[in-house]
């Protein structure tokens, strides 16, 4: 549209606002939903007038990837439906995985219990009350063998949701695959391996930030050399958002964490194009349909420019921002839990419209307990209905060209850029984590959000509006109380039957390497093959690196 027509449109819009919109709103305007990105009542070609189509949008599968990282997107292949599962004993988790695969799930997302994530064995006193509760207890290679034995590993492409002890989890899975006859070059899957977000949001860290970062890079370097199809890190905006970050903070802090990992890999001597194509992300999705969809489009464009222009990546695969996403667990309510089915459907739709590569739909009862088999199946069916019946996958980037969505995409990109500049001016993410200002910024955002809920400014159906005093009546998954005893008995039996001299030698070699600067994946693999436990392996590293104790922030 030429300048003369734009000027005429601007004049027409001003007239409409004065003569039509203002009088209509004067009769009564409802309270609008608070959003992280400022939004206008109406969008027109004036909001996208400065767009250079090829630079701002381009075509799917081409730089800057705003419209998707693959030329055919879902026309060629649907997103991966990857449900988060794991509880109790390894045998129970194996049964749940087999069930979900039979129901059409194409990827496994493994939930580990808190002791496992913290590098503690199930019989450690600090594990009391948490064994097998929010995930599966994995003490040794024996447990990992039990989970995956007989499953189609090459097709299942598991995501190992582990961070502080990600090297141990990957080592266990590599050995399982070896024993199942799967060559390393064919091994597919993901390790989350995003330790920085643990210091910011989740708290399942073990070692201080800098040795933790070393372990993260050790895993990446090992995969570059030996596992060419493995996704060695899943950089998580998801947990930042769950901790209270705004939509813009989610993108900015996740990208800032990614920059930290990239710089650490480059300092190790890795070539950017050797590892950048396997960097992946995990983001949250709330019910705000259009801002969430625009978020993914903006992040793809930001990443493409960051990798090509700042880091000098040469391969188009390095520029492509690959992301899996999941329902925002913090939006699910214990009150009227069936309402969560609607929330999760909206969240999945937003992610699909945003062009994600995989999605996890939360179960409606997750605000009350671990998903039951029934609720887990309904969550999977939600994605399958969207894929097979809604038609949402029949057009690539169906929101592209919308005045509203394109302006939202631009706004998010601009605000994230400002946040990134601010982060780097303050010394970067590692410094920010150590000094505590990253955590403080998210805490302030969380406080502001909670005040909106408490005041009713932000409606939450069934909680602060349209409440119903009727007691909730939902059949919940109940963990078996004998899980702990079963797990501890297996662990004790393992310690009696394994070659303990071999274990001692492997742990001694690990300690020696940890005091140096070598890649720790190799001695960890040897310890795992000897059936050393996760508690023993992490105990050795605790002895060398120490344990992280956050300092109180004023």
Structural contact between residues 343 and 446, judged by C-beta atoms closer than 8 angstroms? no
Mean pLDDT, the chain, whole residue set: 93
Residue 177 vs residues 119, 219, 231, 539: alpha-carbon distances, Å? 22, 17, 16, 25
User: Which fold is adopted by the domain 53-452?
Assistant: TIM Barrel (3.20.20)
Q: Is the pLDDT of residue 210 over 50?
A: yes
Question: Helices (DSSP H) in 355-428: which residue ranges?
Answer: 373-389, 403-425
pLDDT digits over 332-390, tens only? 999 999 999 999 999 999 999 999 999 999 999 989 888 888 898 999 999 999 999 99
- Please report the pLDDT score of residue 14 as a whole number: 96
Q: What is the mean pLDDT of residues 286-306?
A: 98
Nearest partner of 204 among 150, 163, 170, 159, judged by Cα: 163
Relative to beta strand 107-110, strand 159-160 is parallel
Beta bridge partners of 326: 284, 360
Structural contact between residues 119 and 168, judged by C-beta atoms closer than 8 angstroms? yes
DSSP track, 254-321: HHHHHHHHHHHHHHHT--HHHHGGGEEEEEEE-S-HHHHHHHHHHHHHHHHHIIIIIS---SHHHH--
pLDDT-derived band at 114 (thresholds 50, 70, 90) equals very high
Distance CA 154, CA 151 (A): 9
Please name the helix (run of DSSP H) or strand (run of DSSP E) that holds residue 139, with its range, or none: none
Beginning with the edge strand found earlier in the chain, give each strand of the sheet holding 358-360 in spatial order: 230-231, 189-191, 159-160, 107-110, 80-85, 358-360, 322-327, 279-285, 233-236
Per-residue DSSP letter, 236: E
| Token duo for residue 94 | 């194996």
Distance CA 445, CA 450 (A): 9
Structural contact between residues 313 and 321, judged by C-beta atoms closer than 8 angstroms? no
Distance CA 20, CA 7 (A): 19
Distance CA 97, CA 103 (A): 10
- What is the rounded radius of gyration, in angstroms, for the C-alpha atoms of the chain? 24
| Token duo for residue 54 | 């090829």
* Burial class, 66, CB count within 10 angstroms (exposed 0-12 / middle 13-18 / buried 19+): buried
Beta bridge partners of 279: 233
Distance CA 19, CA 188 (A): 60
pLDDT digits over 13-59, tens only? 999 999 999 999 998 878 888 887 889 999 999 999 989 999 999 99
Residue 43 vs residues 12, 294, 402: alpha-carbon distances, Å? 13, 15, 9
| Token duo for residue 294 | 């625009």
Distance CA 375, CA 365 (A): 7
Helix (H, G, I), strand (E, B) or coil at 83: strand
pLDDT digits over 387-408, tens only? 999 999 999 999 999 999 999 9
Q: Is the pLDDT of residue 437 over 90?
A: yes
Structural contact between residues 216 and 233, judged by C-beta atoms closer than 8 angstroms? yes
- Please report the pLDDT score of residue 69 as a whole number: 98
Q: Using the structure block, give the residue that is written with the tokens 């060629």.
A: 76
């Amino acid at each position: 549209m030429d300048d003369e027509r734009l000027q005429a449109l601007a004049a027409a819009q001003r007239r409409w606002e004065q003569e039509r919109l203002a009088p209509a709103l004067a009769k009564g305007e409802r309270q609008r939903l608070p959003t992280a990105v400022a939004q206008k009542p109406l969008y027109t070609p004036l909001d996208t007038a400065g767009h250079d189509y090829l630079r701002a949008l381009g075509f799917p599968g081409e730089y800057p990837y705003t419209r998707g990282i693959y030329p055919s997107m879902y026309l060629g292949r649907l997103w991966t439906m990857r449900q988060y599962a794991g509880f109790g004993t390894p045998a129970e988790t194996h049964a749940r995985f087999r069930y979900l695969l039979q129901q059409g799930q194409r990827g496994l997302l493994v939930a580990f219990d808190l002791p496992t994530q913290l590098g503690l064995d199930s019989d450690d006193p600090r594990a009391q009350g948490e064994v097998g509760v929010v995930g599966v207890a994995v003490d040794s290679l024996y447990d990992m063998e039990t989970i995956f034995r007989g499953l189609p590993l090459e097709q299942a492409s598991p995501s190992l949701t582990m961070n502080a002890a990600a090297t141990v989890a990957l080592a266990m899975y590599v050995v399982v695959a070896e024993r199942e006859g799967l060559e390393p070059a064919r091994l597919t899957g993901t390790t989350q391996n995003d330790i920085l977000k643990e210091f910011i949001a989740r708290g399942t860290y073990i070692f201080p930030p800098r040795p933790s970062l070393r372990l993260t890079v050790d895993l990446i370097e090992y995969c570059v050399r030996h596992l060419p199809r493995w996704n060695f890190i899943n950089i998580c905006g998801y947990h930042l958002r769950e901790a209270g970050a705004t939509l813009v903070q989610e993108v900015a802090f996740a990208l800032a964490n990614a920059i930290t990992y990239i710089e650490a890999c480059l300092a190790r001597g890795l070539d950017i194009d050797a590892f950048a194509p396997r960097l992946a992300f995990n983001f949250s999705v709330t019910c705000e349909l259009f801002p969430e969809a625009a978020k993914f489009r903006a992040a793809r464009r930001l990443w493409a420019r960051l990798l090509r222009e700042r880091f000098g990546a040469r391969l188009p695969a390095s520029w492509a921002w690959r992301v899996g996403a999941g329902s925002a667990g913090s939006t699910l309510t214990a009150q009227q839990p069936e309402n969560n089915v609607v929330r999760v459907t909206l969240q999945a739709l937003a992610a699909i419209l945003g062009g994600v590569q995989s999605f996890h739909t939360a179960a409606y009862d997750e605000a009350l307990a671990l998903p039951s088999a029934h609720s887990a199946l309904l969550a999977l069916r939600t994605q399958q209905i969207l894929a097979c019946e809604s038609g949402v996958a029949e057009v690539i980037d169906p929101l592209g060209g919308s005045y509203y969505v394109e302006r939202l995409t631009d706004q998010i990109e601009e605000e994230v850029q400002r946040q990134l500049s601010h982060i780097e001016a303050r010394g970067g993410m590692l410094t920010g984590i150590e000094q505590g200002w990253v955590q403080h910024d998210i805490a302030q955002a969380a406080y502001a959000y909670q005040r909106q809920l408490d005041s009713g400014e932000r409606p939450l159906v069934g909680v602060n509006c349209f409440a119903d005093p009727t007691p909730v009546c939902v059949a919940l998954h109940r963990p078996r109380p004998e899980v702990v005893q079963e797990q501890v008995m297996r662990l004790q039996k393992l310690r009696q039957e394994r070659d303990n001299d071999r274990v001692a030698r492997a742990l001694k070699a690990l300690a020696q390497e940890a005091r140096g600067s070598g890649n720790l994946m190799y001695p960890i693999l040897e310890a795992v093959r000897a059936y050393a436990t996760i508690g023993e392996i992490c105990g050795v590293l605790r002895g060398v690196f120490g344990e992280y104790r956050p300092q109180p922030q004023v």
